[in-house]
Amino acid sequence: MRIGVMFDTEQPFDEMVGQVASLQEAGIQTAWASQIFAYDALTALAVIGREVPGIDLGTAVVPTYPRHPVMLAAQALTVQAATGGRLTLGIGLSHQMVIEHVFGQSFEKPARHMREYLSILVPLLEGEQVTFAGETLSASTFGPLQIAAPVPPVLVAALGTTMLRIAGRMASGTVTWMTGPATIESHIVPTIRAAASEAGRPEPRIGCGLPVCVTDDTEAARIQAAEVWAIYGELPSYRAMLDREGAIGPADVALVGSAAEVGAQVRRLADIGVTDFCGAPFGTPDQIEASVGVLASLV
């Protein structure tokens, strides 16, 4: 299992570069960026990747609706060219409230949207010319994109059965967030693996993103996790996974405890099939440093 850390994309840019450099120095294998309402994740990774060698880079995740797949393919390949092929491209639907209220776009039939999106995106990343006409997305390129770069793996943020099947059949795997180990073991892993096998594709990568805090005050850490990530207990897709896990909220799936306890929790994820762990360290500066240290020790 590859060990990664989600870095803060809401801090000043130089500090963001410094944070990724410190992760690389600690021995972390992948630095992950989210695309919310701060720096553009792919642009940031292109710049950071040029300044900080020796660490892989990933998006977890870039929402699909605001970017046409032809444009996203060009952006991703540009990052690949700039960083020597170190990008894992994580993409996702985002959420109905974001797509409809922020971007003013329809969120109707999101599974159809993702199927059509991947039908354009993946062939372009693989160096093909694309002619595709779907119900909501179409593309007719004049030829392959003229960008000399390695093909980045595409991970789809998939939680429900339909999306997991799409990810298994059409992408390199999935990357989850706020989904506990029991749900990953009983639902995520078998569903996406079966879909990939049926499609004759390689065994998929399975990413898992969870909050992490190495601490001797687990109660305080869980209270903080409940406050910081409260929204994820309300968004329907994450709520469904928390319910499946039997979790009241995000605090119940956060990896919290001593160094030995957190290490054991991460190792369990590897045992059940997670290939890429993306930790989101939180707490005091000392707790964050300790959390990164424990994750680095697992590499």
pLDDT, tens digit, for every residue of 105-143? 999 999 999 999 999 999 999 999 999 999 999 999 999
Q: Specify the pLDDT at position 267.
A: 98
And the tokens for 46?
């292109």
Instruction: Read off the pLDDT band of 89 (50, 70, 90).
Output: very high
Q: Specify the pLDDT at position 285.
A: 97
> Which H/E stretch holds residue 74?
helix 69-83
| β-pair partners for 59 | 33
CA distances from 46 to 24, 50, 112, 188 (A): 16, 6, 30, 31
- Domains of the chain, first to last: 1-156 (3.20.20.30)
Region for residue 26 given its phi and psi (left: phi exceeds 0; alpha: psi -120 to 50; beta: otherwise): alpha
Q: Specify the pLDDT at position 23.
A: 98
When the pLDDT of each residue in the chain is averaged and rounded to a whole number, the result is 97
Instruction: Read off the pLDDT band of 217 (50, 70, 90).
Output: very high
Helix (H, G, I), strand (E, B) or coil at 141: coil
Q: Specify the pLDDT at position 275.
A: 98
Dihedrals phi, psi of 2, to nearest 5 degrees: -85, 140
| β-pair partners for 3 | 277
The residue-averaged pLDDT of 24-45 equals 96
The residue-averaged pLDDT of 149-158 equals 98
And the tokens for 238?
């994450």
Q: Specify the pLDDT at position 39.
A: 96
Q: Specify the pLDDT at position 183.
A: 98
Instruction: Read off the pLDDT band of 197 (50, 70, 90).
Output: very high
Q: Specify the pLDDT at position 268.
A: 98
The residue-averaged pLDDT of 218-232 equals 97
Q: Specify the pLDDT at position 24.
A: 98
- Tens-digit pLDDT profile for residues 157-194: 999 999 999 999 999 999 999 999 999 999 999 999 99
Q: Is the pTM of this model over 0.85?
A: yes
DSSP 96-133: HHHHHHTS----SSHHHHHHHHHHHHHHHHTT---EEE
